[in-house]
Structure 1
Amino acid sequence: MKAGRIGILGAGGMGSAFAALLARSGHDVVLIGRGSEHVRAVAARGLAVLPPDGRPWTVALDVSPHAEDLPPGSLDAVVILTKAYDLSAAARSVAPALTPGGVAVSLQNGLGLAARLDAVFGGERSLVGTTTVGAALQGPGRISVSGATAAGESFTYLGEMGEARGGARAAGVVAALSAAGIPSAYLPQVGEEIWRKLALAVMSPVSSVLRLTVGQVWASDEGRSLVRRMFDEVVAVALTQQVRLDPERAWAHASQVFEGTGEHYTSMCADVMNGRRTELSSMAGAVHRIGREQGVPVPTHGVVLEMLGALGVR
């Protein structure tokens, strides 16, 4: 099954990176935004991609300023990369453009996204997943990508959180992303990967409280201890959801990622410092809620969330 025309909904750093890589590899793709200056710049001049090796490249992209501007039934697949709190509204906005046999994929961070996606598209047309693609806006028409993404080493997994309906509808998207340099796979039960990323993402609220880069947090014994305690709480809560993470293997992977990230702010920390809304409620907030509902102690999550709340972060 071919992916056909792919819409990338969300014209931030991540969505722009997916669209750029797909377009560069010859796929039929449209970047869907909200009429921002960035979207207008991409439409006028193309998208400039800045990898860490200092060899920038530019790609022409088809752009739709708003999802509502797309012709009905014009997309065979849509990959949603807006913030998690925007999922329901974003899905409704693009739903008329998706063909009856098309597939909608959410690669956003956090828990509870599958139900919201299913409510709009139906379970037979929706998939959720996770990605390690790293990218950030650097100004109108310009993004940077991480070293791993530039090297084609950022992995993406998509599948179902509940009943597995088979991977046929995922095949086109998986093939397109893999051919574009974003290695991808379908997992009938993708929940383990989503929880694994939640465990990795505990660095986000810690760095946001401290207003420090990942490297700065990781350089201190206290910072590493705080991150590890939150990590262990995620592993314990995941078990109540029938997801068994190997704690030492997952921690070894997380440590490698933290050590390799260096002096970069997490996206959540950048949002906090710039006064923007965060995805806290669908990430650490969701882990904390489930832990309390299931009787699993989550004291470190509680303290960190209270500190962020005192800063006005939601």
Structure 2
Amino acid sequence: MKVAVMGAGAVGCFYGALLARAGHEVVLIGRPLHVQAIERDGLRLEMQGFDQRLRLAASTEASAAQGANLVLFCVKSTDTETAAAQLRAHLAPGALLLSMQNGVDNAERLRAVLPDHEVAATVVYVATGMAGPGHVRHHGRNELVMEPSHNGEAVARLLNAAGVPTTISGNVRGALWAKLIVNCAYNALSAITQLPYGRLAQGEGVPDMLDDVVDECLAVARADGVEVTGDPHAAVRLIAQTMPTQLSSTAQDVARGKRSEIDHLNGYVLRRGQTLGLATPVNRALHALVKLLEDKAGAGGQAA
């Protein structure tokens, strides 16, 4: 199968690399720095028991997705509509797009721009990062949970065969919210302090603050008719134990002077709460503080 990865950052490069290892024709669409490194040296995939360079196509142009049967849509939530519009003229009629993004409304936003194409919201559970241009490093996990779609079963089989544990769920919205809650708990705090999760969770008053964030998010989700999967309080506690050295993506964006996804994390909960008549003061404070950091870095108008 021809697979296009729109937004070849850490997540896109990692899953694109696994599909390329499985023999699929993969093209990575990303930023010039990474594309140039991949064209010159191949994509370096570093994970437990494996460190190798893979030869696969890379481009800075959305037109490289021409003819792809499957599109892994991995751009930042801030760029969803722009990237979708760039793809529109190049998508094959039966192509399936997997929205593999943070936040809970990206699939809906994609469908609004691409009404003639199939989109499946997909929850991504992976710890991975770009260690340098064209170099992706995997730290743990790599499961996907997809919402049902016309070609979903076939794509799930393809992903499982490539070493990506993939399930199809009728409650992807609840799973997206469960992940959103973890992101709301840690991402902003990690960005504000530039501390990893393990250190954060040990801070004075922080465990209670994390509980407050979770409670606000759950109240909004329930008022919105969402059945959140699992135990979000337990999931938040577990992250500090299983990923103690991890800095959030928001922290990394702020440190680089980039615009973050905070509007689609704590900011989303804040907006939904306002719509539903629910106060979310802790999420409001975290969102405001990260926006101040972005403004201080001059990142307010930059693309993420």
- Asked whether the equivalents of residues 126 and 140 of structure 2 are also in contact (C-alpha less than 8 Å), the reply is no
Secondary structure at 1:208 match in 2: helix
Residue 132 of structure 1, CA deviation: 0.9
Secondary structure at 2:257 match in 1: coil
Secondary structure at 1:130 match in 2: strand
Give aligned-pair identity as a percent.
27
Residue 116 of structure 1, CA deviation: 1.7
Structure 2 residue aligned with 1:298, among 275, 280, 283? 280
Structure 1 residue aligned with 2:192, among 201, 205, 209? 209
Residue 188 of structure 1, CA deviation: 3.1
**Structure 2: segments with no counterpart, 5+ residues:** none
CA distance 1:182–1:221, change in 2 (3 Å): farther
Give the Cα separation in 2 of the matches to 1:311 and 1:120.
31
Name the counterpart of 1:162.
none
Post-superposition CA distance 1:1-34 (Å, at most 9, x none): xxx3111111111111011111111122211124
Greater Cα offset, 15-24 or 249-258: 249-258
Residue 66 of structure 1, CA deviation: 1.2
Name the counterpart of 1:116.
109
- Asked whether the equivalents of residues 19 and 29 of structure 1 are also in contact (C-alpha less than 8 Å), the reply is yes
CA distance 1:265–1:223, change in 2 (3 Å): same
Name the counterpart of 2:226.
243
CA distance 1:172–1:96, change in 2 (3 Å): farther
> Does 2:33 align with 1:50?
no
> Does 2:104 align with 1:100?
no
Post-superposition CA distance 1:70-101 (Å, at most 9, x none): 54xx1111111010111111112122222111
Over the residues paired in the alignment, what is the CA RMSD in angstroms?
Answer: 1.9
CA distance 1:57–1:245, change in 2 (3 Å): same
> Does 2:37 align with 1:41?
yes
TM-score (norm 2): 0.90
Structure 1 residue aligned with 2:163, among 176, 181, 188? 181
> Does 2:12 align with 1:24?
no
Question: Which letter maps to 1:263?
Answer: T
Name the counterpart of 2:55.
60
CA distance 1:271–1:180, change in 2 (3 Å): same
CA distance 1:173–1:97, change in 2 (3 Å): farther
Secondary structure at 1:198 match in 2: helix
Number of matched residues? 295
Name the counterpart of 1:7.
4
Give the Cα separation in 2 of the matches to 1:232 and 1:254.
12
Mapping 1:97-176, distance limit 5 Å? 97-122=90-115, 125-148=118-141, 154-159=142-147, 167-176=149-158
Residue 262 of structure 1, CA deviation: 1.2
- Asked whether the equivalents of residues 48 and 143 of structure 1 are also in contact (C-alpha less than 8 Å), the reply is yes
TM-score (norm 1): 0.88
Residue 143 of structure 1, CA deviation: 1.3
Residue 65 of structure 1, CA deviation: 2.9
Residue 61 of structure 1, CA deviation: 1.3
Give the Cα separation in 1 of the matches to 2:107 and 2:65.
24
Question: Which letter maps to 1:96?
Answer: A
Give the Cα separation in 2 of the matches to 1:70 and 1:194.
26
Post-superposition CA distance 1:11-58 (Å, at most 9, x none): 111111011111111122211124x1211111222111222x474222
- Asked whether the equivalents of residues 27 and 176 of structure 1 are also in contact (C-alpha less than 8 Å), the reply is no
Mapping 1:81-100, distance limit 5 Å? 81-100=74-93
Residue 220 of structure 1, CA deviation: 2.1
CA distance 1:312–1:67, change in 2 (3 Å): closer
Greater Cα offset, 236-245 or 268-277: 236-245
Residue 265 of structure 1, CA deviation: 0.8
Residue 69 of structure 1, CA deviation: 4.2
